[in-house]
Amino acid sequence: MSVRHALLALLSEGPKYGLQLREEFEDRTGDVWPLNVGQVYTTLQRLERDDLIEADSQAGTDTDDDKQKRFRITPAGESELGRWLRTPPDMSAPPRDELVMKILVAMRVPGTDVREIIQAHRRYLVELMQQWTRIKDDEAEYDLSLALVVDAELFRLDAVIRWLDSADGRIKRAGGTPPPPSPANVPRLRRRMGVTR
Amino acid sequence: MSVLELRDVSKVYGHGVAEVHALYEISLAVGAGTMVAVMGPSGSGKSTLLTIAGTLEDPSTGEVRIAGTDVTQLSRVQKAQLRRRTIGYVFQDFNLLPGLTAAENVALPLELDGMTARRARQAGLAALNRLGLAERAGHYPDQMSGGERQRVAIARAVVGERQLLLADEPSGALDSVNGEAVMRLIHEACRGGMAAVVVTHDAQLASWADRVVFLRDGRVTDRTTPAAGPESLLRGAGGDSGSGGQVR
């Protein structure tokens, strides 16, 4: 989560004080991302240094104390915010998910029931989803931001469970035998995916 | 007392070499006000479990008790009466009768059970009203959206004095918003005192349940344990990672 851009977004609505920004940030993210006040002021200082925000002179706040200052977004800040909103986050990296690694490793460990390990992870994820769904049931119906945050978590966890289900099915069809090592002349996954780092 | 109790229920189809064990010694108790989800892949025995819980099939061995009655000892007529009075069913494809309006569909099980048409219609309208469908009472199924049809099916399943709601992939054909609306209604029915069993392969649906039972190859392999309060998730989240519940 970019606190920098979240603060720019809040300032795009009009000039605001630091404490006000912190409260609004937490409200808008359904209280799921707590933010400490030091982080807010450090980020504001950097935004001011980069000319993306400026002290609001109309508020009569000619002071060095950030807590007394009201900030406003500059035209450069507005264009930076627009650029950030339209830039997709980097999701192109190959999977290095710890859970994926555990299942791959489990297939190589003698005497390990991989499907039992898959089930342990599946149960944990479903329990987490139950907790998120309870939040949705209790509060999110009345709080759009929280509903969106909870949905994002639920879809993310659901995707992991779907991967576990798929892995479970593949391993069952393969008869639980570990795959043979790849022949040396088969290009490595990284190279096939065009990953250079 | 549990509304539904399965004790060591097994189900075998066919004989000899063609014998297929659909369920092995399943034990499950669902109390009033509780929703249990049964998760498992295709062929794990989920639907068989539901048809046995709903008295539509008999187990090969074991006992099924609904509201305290051992249903394996009942006659076919007695079972049909128990189904009409005590059990509501919700299916993936809604199973509404196309020639009847929403109100008539909901009132039908009450009428079949001997209630006068007028009283059954009143109860049906009340159920539709509770589910926000009062203005759709006179519409036929083909005049309604998928989400509305499923809400009518839920109204039909909870109308009257039903105690047990059995649902087979109740939001399978719906988008996620309508699917959530369906699960909220089932959850609401449980808060009103019904017991519910929802079979699904969908974790988002299952996460509405108080307990989740995992079925594989006809056996219960695992169950969720009561989860910590949701506050722990909110406390645990934070910082710049943007991640509320890490998979570790």
**pLDDT above 50 (res B87):** yes
Q: What is the pLDDT of residue A183?
A: 57
Express each pLDDT in A58-94 by its tens digit. Answer: 655 555 666 678 999 999 999 999 999 888 887 776 6
Tell me the CA distances in angstroms from A26 to A10, A23, A29, A46, one per residue in order: 11, 5, 5, 20
Q: Sketch out chain B's domains with CATH numbers.
A: 2-235 (3.40.50.300)
CA distances from B201 to A6, A180, B109, B207, B247 (A): 37, 31, 29, 11, 20
Distance CA(B151)–CA(B182), nearest Å, equals 7
Residue A167: Cβ within 10 Å count: 20
Compute the average pLDDT of residues B139-149.
Answer: 92
* pLDDT at residue number A197: 44
Kindly report, residue by residue over A107-139, the tens digit of the pLDDT.
Answer: 988 888 999 999 999 999 999 999 999 988 887
- Give how far A145 is from chain B: nearest CA, Å: 14
- Residues B30, B195 contacting (CB under 8 angstroms): yes
Partner-chain contact A157 B247, CB within 8 Å: yes
Helices (H), chain A: 3-11, 18-28, 37-49, 75-86, 98-106, 114-138, 144-173, 189-192
The side-by-side arrangement of strands in the sheet containing B61-66 is B20-31, B2-13, B61-66, B69-70
Averaging pLDDT over each range in A51-55, B124-128, B130-134, which range is the top one? Answer: A51-55
- CA of A158, closest CA in chain B: separation in Å? 6
Cβ–Cβ below 8 Å for B230 and A168:
no
Out of B202, B230, B239, closest to residue A131 by CB: B230
Query: What's the distance, CA A72 to chain centroid?
Result: 27
| A34/B248 CB distance under 8 A | no
Q: What angle do CA B143, B146, B152 make, to 5 degrees?
A: 80
Distance from CA of B172 to the nearest CA of A (A): 15
What is the reported pLDDT for B230?
A: 59
Residues in chain A with CB shorter than 8 Å from the CB of B245 are 128, 131-132, 153, 157
Candidate from A130, A157, A168 with C-beta closest to B227:
A130
Chain B residues closer than 8 Å to A128 by CB: 227, 233, 245
What CATH number should be reported for the domain whose range is A3-86?
1.10.10.10
Q: To which H or E segment does residue B71 belong?
A: none
Lowest mean pLDDT among B28-42, B147-161, B234-248: B234-248
pLDDT at residue A196, rounded to an integer:
47
Range of weakest confidence among B7-21, B89-103, B232-246: B232-246
Statement: residue B9 has pLDDT above 80: yes
* Mean pLDDT, residues A48-62: 79
Could you tell me the maximum CA-CA distance found in chain A, to the nearest angstrom? 74
Q: Inform me whether the pLDDT recorded for B56 exceeds 60.
A: yes
For residues A60 and B88, the model is more confident at B88
Instruction: For chain A, give the percent of residues with pLDDT over 70.
Output: 79
With 0-12 / 13-18 / 19 or more C-beta atoms within 10 angstroms meaning exposed / middle / buried, residue B37 is buried
**Residue B184: closest CA among chain A residues belongs to which residue?**
A137
pLDDT the model gives residue B243:
36
Residue B240 has pLDDT above 50, yes or no: no
CB-CB under 8 Å, B234 with A161: no
Place of tokens 């009103």: B192
> What are the strands of the beta sheet with A53-55, ordered from one edge?
A16-17, A70-73, A53-55
Give me the residue from B184, B206, B238 closest to A126, CB to CB: B206
The predicted pLDDT at position A114 comes to: 92
CB-CB under 8 Å, B225 with A130: no
Q: Using CA atoms, how far apart are residues B136 and B167, in angstroms rounded to an integer?
A: 23
Cβ of A125 and B239 within 8 Å?
A: no
ipTM: 0.84
* Contacts of residue B218, Cβ cutoff 8 Å, sequence gap at least 6: B11, B21, B22, B23, B24, B26, B44, B45, B48
Mean confidence (pLDDT) of chain A: 83
Helix (H) or strand (E) holding B63: strand B61-66
Is B102 within 8 Å of B137 (Cβ atoms)?
yes
> Tell me, what amino acid is at A23?
E
Q: How far is A32 from chain B (nearest CA, A)?
A: 5
pLDDT of residue A64: 62
pLDDT at A142: 75
Residue B175 or residue A16, greater confidence: A16
What residues in chain A have their Cβ under 8 A from chain B's Cβ atoms? Answer: 1-3, 31-34, 97-99, 115, 119-135, 137-138, 149, 153-155, 157-158, 160-162, 165, 168-169
Q: How far is B141 from chain A (nearest CA, A)?
A: 28
A28 vs B60, higher pLDDT: B60
Task: Write down the pLDDT at residue B238.
Answer: 41
Q: What is the mean pLDDT of residues B62-69?
A: 94
Which of the listed ranges B113-117, B140-144, B170-174 does the model predict with the highest average pLDDT?
Answer: B140-144
A51: alpha, beta or left? (left if phi > 0; alpha if psi -120 to 50): left
Q: Do B247 and A125 touch (CB under 8 A)?
A: yes
pLDDT tier at B228 (50, 70, 90 boundaries)? low
Q: Model confidence over B172-206: pLDDT tens digits?
A: 778 888 888 889 889 988 998 999 999 998 999 99
pLDDT of residue B74: 93
Average pLDDT over residues B65-83: 92
pTM exceeds cut of 0.90: no
* Out of B207, B229, B237, closest to residue A126 by CB: B207
- The domains of chain A are located at 3-86, 98-192
* Chain A neighbors of B244, CB-CB under 8 A: 32, 132, 149, 153
Other CB atoms within 10 A of residue B2 CB = 16
Q: How far apart are CA A75 and CA B127, in angstroms?
A: 56
pLDDT tens digits along A138-195 = 876 678 888 888 999 999 999 999 999 999 999 988 885 666 665 555 455 555 555 4
What's the full length of chain A, in residues? Answer: 197
B239 band by pLDDT with thresholds 50, 70 and 90: very low
